[in-house]
Chains A and B, each alone.
Chain A
């Protein structure tokens, strides 16, 4: 199973096992990674699973979809590499993926 790393705003790293076919958000929630709230449970309707994808991984995580752009529009700290982790489906190619988290999820 691919391993992915979530890095909190304060620098604490959490490396967890992700399940192929599930979302990156679920990898965080299922492993109790703090800082991914996922209030809507993966419906792309709340922007509380916001992450920053490390630049070298952007090619493998794809680009934001339309609903994601609309929700990220209101996040507190949006960057060009902002994604909603519920919209990234884990594949074998994601082994080693690193994402950073914002200061808070809104």
Chain B
């Protein structure tokens, strides 16, 4: 049993009966209700490089097959991430609220800024952080309610990833929940209600900028420390950023380090619950976590897509994408492409070559924190297996209204006492 396309119901019927040119996979409601997969299954089969002429985000191309996504993602000369063309999400932000960050930047500036912060996840730093991650995970798990219902997302996923982020920024511990708030505000679809207007979003993000500017000013004059802010303050590539670029990079690091791992951590509990045979296998052999962790990340695909803008005409999968066109790589679809991944709709913790998935992206923008994310997931599951017989999901999950962040807001669980 799994998350795969549900038995044919009314909405699935629509996925298969709509004329192709009416298919618009950008709608947040599809992802919120887990109805998106049948649409992508149809596109992969009938129109893998699909043009949607009219959507709330304007016209866009959908790239739905694994190999085509790798081709687009690794061709950064033709497919730009730059914020001046609209950046890396399907939503074009209004020019006045558009800001740069190194994910929304092309080479060579991207390269220099990325290299300013990437040492935070170098092997020696990961090794340095491991014991702390384990200790914090153990503490959170030990304090969970037993025999009563609680929201796993709030008590575990959000708490642990927020703590991790506070450590990475060396952020004041007592204020760490602000990081989660800013992450949610930065990515929320207006229709989801986290913020009601773009103006409200900008007001809250201005508070984020002000808070971090205070920290920056302390660190820029202090000795270099292994935290993200000090690294940016002391690197030639990033120490003279405009306030807008600083905020752009902060949001990138906060969302990248928070939302994604949070949702994989929540998804993993759901997948184990729905696939008791896989959970039994893991319990019998915790060493399988080495393959279970990438499988969780594939299966969740915490960011459903990344977007590029074509800088010149380019053929992909037999279609000609024109200069200036918006191109959306649907990682959530490529990760279910049966021409690249065997039996992709099944959650299999010991599958062959589990690391071959698209969730981290490929090419120069590949997720910088991928190994840290994997380490956090591995440790939390090692600590779960030491403590709990099982985690029962006792009600339907509530998901995020978004075609970008593939998130879970509420996952009611009970751990028997």
Chain A interface (Cβ within 8 Å of chain B)? Answer: 29, 37-41, 43-48, 67, 70-71, 73-74, 76-77, 102-104, 106
Q: Is the CB of A74 within 8 A of B363?
A: no
- B121 lies within 8 A of chain A by Cβ: yes
With A104-B123, A104-B371, A106-B121 already in contact, the answer to whether A73 and B362 are too (CB < 8 A) is no
Q: Is the CB of B355 within 8 A of A74?
A: no
Listed A/B pairs (24) with beta-carbon separation below 8 Å: A29-B353, A38-B355, A39-B356, A39-B360, A40-B70, A41-B353, A44-B74, A45-B70, A45-B74, A45-B362, A45-B366, A46-B360, A46-B362, A48-B355, A67-B74, A70-B107, A73-B115, A73-B364, A74-B118, A74-B366, A102-B123, A106-B121, A106-B122, A106-B371
A83 shortest CB reach to chain B, Å: 17
Q: Is the CB of A104 within 8 A of B73?
A: no
**How many of B's residues come within 8 Å of A, CB to CB?**
26
B73 cross-chain contacts in A, Cβ below 8 A? 45
Chain B interface (Cβ within 8 Å of chain A)? Answer: 70, 73-74, 76, 107, 111, 114-115, 118-119, 121-124, 126, 353, 355-356, 360, 362-364, 366, 368, 370-371
**A43 closest partner in B (C-beta):** B70
A76 cross-chain contacts in B, Cβ below 8 A? 118-119, 122-123
A69 shortest CB reach to chain B, Å: 11
* Among B119, B362, B364, contact of A43 (Cβ-Cβ < 8 Å): B362
* Among B107, B118, B124, B353, contact of A103 (Cβ-Cβ < 8 Å): B124
A74 cross-chain contacts in B, Cβ below 8 A? 111, 114-115, 118, 364, 366, 368
- Chain A residues touching B, majority SS: loop
B234 shortest CB reach to chain A, Å: 19
CA distance A106 to B367 in the complex (A): 9
Q: Is the CB of B74 within 8 A of A103?
A: no
CA distance A46 to B107 in the complex (A): 16
A105 shortest CB reach to chain B, Å: 8
A93 shortest CB reach to chain B, Å: 29
A48 cross-chain contacts in B, Cβ below 8 A? 355
A38 cross-chain contacts in B, Cβ below 8 A? 355
**B70 closest partner in A (C-beta):** A43
B123 cross-chain contacts in A, Cβ below 8 A? 76-77, 102-104, 106
